[in-house]
Amino acid sequence: MSGNTFGTLFRITTWGESHGYAVGVVVDGCPAGLQLSAEDVQKELDRRRPGQSRASTARQEADRVEMLSGIFEGRTTGMPISMLVWNKDADSSAYDALRDKPRPGHADFTYQMKYGLRDHRGGGRASARETVGRVAAGAIAKKILILEGIHIAGYVIELGGIKADIKSSDISELSVKAESNPVRCPDLGAAKNMLQHLDEVRQEKDSLGGIVAIIAEGVPPGLGEPVFDKLDADLAKALMSIGSVKAVEIGAGLHSAKMLGSEMNDSLKIKEGKIEFESNNAGGILGGISTGAPIVCKIAVKPTPSIAKRQRTVDIVSLEPAEIEIMGRHDPAIPPRIVPVAEAMMALVLADHLLRQRAARL
Ligand SMILES: Cc1cc2nc3c(=O)[nH]c(=O)nc-3n(C[C@H](O)[C@H](O)[C@H](O)COP(=O)(O)O)c2cc1C
C-alpha cells in the first residue's frame, strides 16, 4: 500500500523526510560476495549533492553515507544493507509561512488531501532529499552491473529549449564531458548557452525545465519479464517515480507516432558472426525484453516549482485567497541534478532484471 518499496529481487525501501533527522534506504536482495565500500556509494552521492554549482541550490549538505548493515570485511553478506545520511543543513524557518498555503507545482496540496496532515518542512517526503536513498542503492546496483559489463550514462540534452548537438555515440566520452560543466551537457557550446539562459531566468525569479538522456550499454539480450514487468514498463515507472519528471520516452518515443513501419523497424544483420540491429528505434527493447542494443531513455523534467516570483494560492485553514513568494534555496533547473538520480533508477531496474533473468530458464 505505502509505495516506499521498489524492485522484485533487488528490492529497495527508501525512508526519511527533507527536514527530519535523516534519510536512507534498505537494500534487500543484494547477492553476497559483492565488493562494496562506503566510498563506492559516496562517489554517487557526491554527484547528487546540491550546492556545487550555480546550476543548483546553495543548500550545503555534506551527505556522508553511513553503512549500518549487510557488509562484512568489504563484501556484501546477502543480508539487508541499510544506509543512512543525516540531515545537517536543513533550514525549516523559510517554510513557516507556507504551512497552510500549498505551493503551486508542489505535492503540498495532494499530501494534505490524502493524509489530512503533512510535514510541510522542505516538502517532507516529496522532497528531492528522498533521492539520497535511491542514489545510494543505485550505486550498489551499478557495481553489480559493471561486473556484467553493463555501463550507464546520463546527461542533459535540452535545457530551457536550448538543444545539445550530440555527435558522439561513445557514452563514456559523453559522460566525462557532461560531468565537466554545471549543466551536465556534453555539448560544451550548448552548455554555455544553457548556463547563460539559466542566469537570465533566475534573475527574473523564474526557473527552467529540460530533457535528460539515460543510456545503458552492454545489456545482454533477454532482460525483462512479460507481460506486466516488461523492461520498458519498469523503466518508465522507475523514471516517472522521480519528482518533476513529466514524460518518459524509450527509443524513438513520441516521434515513433510519426514514422512509417519501414522507418521504425530496426533491421537485423550479422556483424562478425553476431546478430545486431541496423538502427535502434526500439531503444534496445522489443516485447518488453532487452535486444542487446543500448537501452535509450529520455525524460522530460518540468521547471523547478519553487520560484521567487509571487504566486497565487489559497489558505487551507481560512479558505481565503493568498499569495506567496518562495524564499528558501532551490535549484533554478532540475535536469542537471536529476542525472545521477535517473542513472540510479535505471541501474536498479537493470540489476533487478539481471537477477530475475537467472531464474528464467534451465
Ligand atoms: C534531484 C531533484 C532536485 C529537485 N530540486 C528541487 C528544488 O530545489 N526546488 C523545488 O521546488 N523542486 C525541486 N525538485 C522537484 C520537486 O521535488 C517536485 O517537483 C515536487 O515534489 C512535485 O512533484 P512532481 O513534480 O513530480 O509532481 C527536485 C526534484 C529532483 C528529482
**DSSP string spanning 77-143?**
-SSPEEEEEE--S---GGGGGGTTSPPTTSSHHHHHHHHS----GGGGGGSGGGHHHHHHHHHHHHH
Model pLDDT, residue 1: 61
Model pLDDT, residue 59: 54
Model pLDDT, residue 283: 98
d(CA 355, CA 88): 36
Cβ burial of 163 (10 Å; 0-12, 13-18, 19+) is middle
Q: How many angstroms separate the alpha carbon of residue 170 from the centre of ligand 1?
A: 30
Model pLDDT, residue 52: 59
- CB 302 less than 6 A from any atom of ligand 1: yes
Residue range 233-239: average pLDDT? Answer: 98
Q: How many angstroms separate the alpha carbon of residue 230 from the centre of ligand 1?
A: 27
Model pLDDT, residue 94: 76
Decide if pLDDT at 194 tops 70. Answer: yes
Decide if pLDDT at 266 tops 70. Answer: yes
- CB 291 less than 6 A from any atom of ligand 1: no
197 pLDDT band, cuts 50/70/90, is very high
Decide if pLDDT at 338 tops 90. Answer: yes
Helix, strand, or coil here: 295?
strand
Decide if pLDDT at 297 tops 70. Answer: yes
| % of the chain with per-residue pLDDT over 90 | 90
Q: How many angstroms separate the alpha carbon of residue 128 from the centre of ligand 1?
A: 6
Of residues 311 and 53, the one with the higher pLDDT is 311
- CB 244 less than 6 A from any atom of ligand 1: yes
322 neighbors 315 (Cβ within 8 angstroms) = yes
Q: How many angstroms separate the alpha carbon of residue 110 from the centre of ligand 1?
A: 14
- β-partners of residue 151 are 217
C-alpha pair distances (Å), 108 with each of 8, 19, 131, 252, 314:
30, 15, 18, 35, 12
331 pLDDT band, cuts 50/70/90, is confident
Position 14, amino acid: T
- CB 159 less than 6 A from any atom of ligand 1: no
User: Which of 331, 338, 341, 343 to mutate for ligand 1's pocket (most ligand atoms within 8 Å of CB)?
Assistant: 331
C-alpha pair distances (Å), 5 with each of 8, 16, 105, 241, 290:
9, 13, 25, 11, 24
- CB 337 less than 6 A from any atom of ligand 1: yes
Nearest CA-CA partner of 278 in 289, 290, 262:
262
Q: How many angstroms separate the alpha carbon of residue 76 from the centre of ligand 1?
A: 32
C-alpha pair distances (Å), 96 with each of 109, 324, 327, 328, 341:
16, 12, 11, 11, 29
- CB 107 less than 6 A from any atom of ligand 1: yes
102 neighbors 313 (Cβ within 8 angstroms) = yes
Could you identify the atom of ligand 1 that is nearest to the CA of residue 56?
8
Residue nearest (by alpha carbon) to ligand 1 atom 25: 244
Decide if pLDDT at 15 tops 80. Answer: yes
What rounded mean pLDDT belongs to the chain? 95
- β-partners of residue 289 are 286
For 28-67, how does the pLDDT look when each residue is reduced to its tens digit (9 = 90+)?
999 999 999 999 999 999 999 986 556 666 555 589 999 9
10 pLDDT band, cuts 50/70/90, is very high
d(CA 255, CA 252): 6
Residue nearest (by alpha carbon) to ligand 1 atom 20: 106
User: Which of 113, 244, 302 to mutate for ligand 1's pocket (most ligand atoms within 8 Å of CB)?
Assistant: 244
d(CA 339, CA 211): 10
Number of neighbours of residue 113 by Cβ within 10 angstroms: 11
Residue range 284-293: average pLDDT? Answer: 98
For 137-159, how does the pLDDT look when each residue is reduced to its tens digit (9 = 90+)?
999 999 999 999 999 999 999 99
Length of the chain measured in residues: 362
Q: How many angstroms separate the alpha carbon of residue 91 from the centre of ligand 1?
A: 17
C-alpha pair distances (Å), 131 with each of 50, 175, 242, 257, 263:
12, 21, 8, 33, 38
For β-strands 11-16 and 5-6, DSSP reports them as antiparallel
Model pLDDT, residue 61: 54
Model pLDDT, residue 271: 95
329 pLDDT band, cuts 50/70/90, is confident
For 75-107, how does the pLDDT look when each residue is reduced to its tens digit (9 = 90+)?
999 999 999 999 987 778 878 889 999 999 999
Alpha helices per DSSP H over the chain: 38-48, 108-115, 131-147, 171-179, 188-203, 231-240, 261-264, 335-357
d(CA 359, CA 51): 43
The model's pTM is 0.96
- CB 212 less than 6 A from any atom of ligand 1: no
d(CA 65, CA 47): 13
- CB 123 less than 6 A from any atom of ligand 1: yes
Model pLDDT, residue 158: 98
Of residues 164 and 1, the one with the higher pLDDT is 164
Decide if pLDDT at 23 tops 90. Answer: yes
d(CA 198, CA 332): 7
Q: How many angstroms separate the alpha carbon of residue 19 from the centre of ligand 1?
A: 15
Could you identify the atom of ligand 1 that is nearest to the CA of residue 329?
8
d(CA 313, CA 18): 23
Q: How many angstroms separate the alpha carbon of residue 130 from the centre of ligand 1?
A: 10
Residue range 282-296: average pLDDT? Answer: 98
Say which residues have a Cβ less than 8 Å from residue 60's Cβ, sequence separation at least 6: 50, 51, 89
